[in-house]
Structure 1
Amino acid sequence: MTGKYNAVARKQKALPLLLEGRPIREVAESVGVREREIYRWLEDPLFKRELHQRRKELLDGVVAQLQSAMNISVQTLVALLKDESAMVRLRAANGLLGHAVKYLDLYSIQERLDALEAKVSYQRSS
């Protein structure tokens, strides 16, 4: 039973190191296994699922921070539109317009994708 507990503990210790992007060799040394064992873990469906879930949680947190920073960034760019310097105003305007165009493009693509998915779903159910 101790061997199985050790393996579970080692896998749990390896997960955050892998999420940090540490080299396999370093992860293996840190948890006390051979590199080959880390590669085996990465092929294990349960380990892969746990790694994927933790990566998703990490990315969700980063996205939340980015969303919060976006509001502040837009407010800053809008405020800079009133700056005395024409160059600053121009850069702020270009920044806002550039991001607006990208957003509108993504929004349009998302709408089309949603429509296609709905159509495919309808055709499959018919």
Structure 2
Amino acid sequence: MTSTRRPAAVLALAQGRTTGQAAKSAGVSGRTILRWLDEPSFHQEVTDARTELLHLAVGRLAAASTKAVDALVDALDNERGQARVQAARTLLDACLALRESLDLEQRLAALETAENDQEGRR
């Protein structure tokens, strides 16, 4: 009984629902949810489920991003005035944000490599 209810509670909490909402969707009491949350393994299950949901969302965003860019580029070519300016701003903002993200990722990787090298020398 608990084995089928616990995953439902994990999913509900990972999706950002309250403990009361998670209890209702899992068919358990709110006290049960609070008791489970005191268990490090349950807390880790919620964290892992949330991470997986975020990975799925990022994958869907990445898949849709080419359509979004195509629409913006089309607006640059076919729209007038304010819509065209807004499309250009959106594209430039996205490019800058992506560039910053990639730079940060590279810097973090370099720091991790340097830290690993130092630990290897000890």
TM range (shorter): 0.7 to 0.9
User: TM-score, normalized by length of structure 2?
Assistant: 0.83
* Amino acid paired to 1:83: N
Q: Which digits, 9 at most, give the CA deviation of each residue in 1:18-72, with x for residues without a partner?
A: 2333321233345454423211211212222322222222222111110011111
The 5 A counterparts of 1:115-126 are: 115-126=110-121
In 1, distance between residues paired with 2:55 and 2:31?
A: 31
The 5 A counterparts of 1:37-116 are: 37-116=32-111
Task: Please list every run of 5 or more consecutive structure 2 residues that lacks an aligned counterpart in the other structure.
Answer: none
Task: Please list every run of 5 or more consecutive structure 1 residues that lacks an aligned counterpart in the other structure.
Answer: 1-5
Higher relative contact order by CA 8 Å / sep ≥ 6: 1 or 2?
2
Alpha-carbon RMSD across the aligned residues, in angstroms, is: 2.0
Q: Which has the larger radius of gyration?
A: 1
Q: Which runs of 4+ in 1 moved over 6 A?
A: none
Q: 1:106 to 1:31 in 2, by over 3 A?
A: closer
Q: 1:16 to 1:108 in 2, by over 3 A?
A: closer
Quote the sequence identity (%): 33
Count the aligned residue pairs: 121
Q: 1:62 to 1:29 in 2, by over 3 A?
A: closer
In 2, distance between residues paired with 1:48 and 1:12?
A: 12
In 1, distance between residues paired with 2:55 and 2:79?
A: 39
User: TM-score, normalized by length of structure 1?
Assistant: 0.81
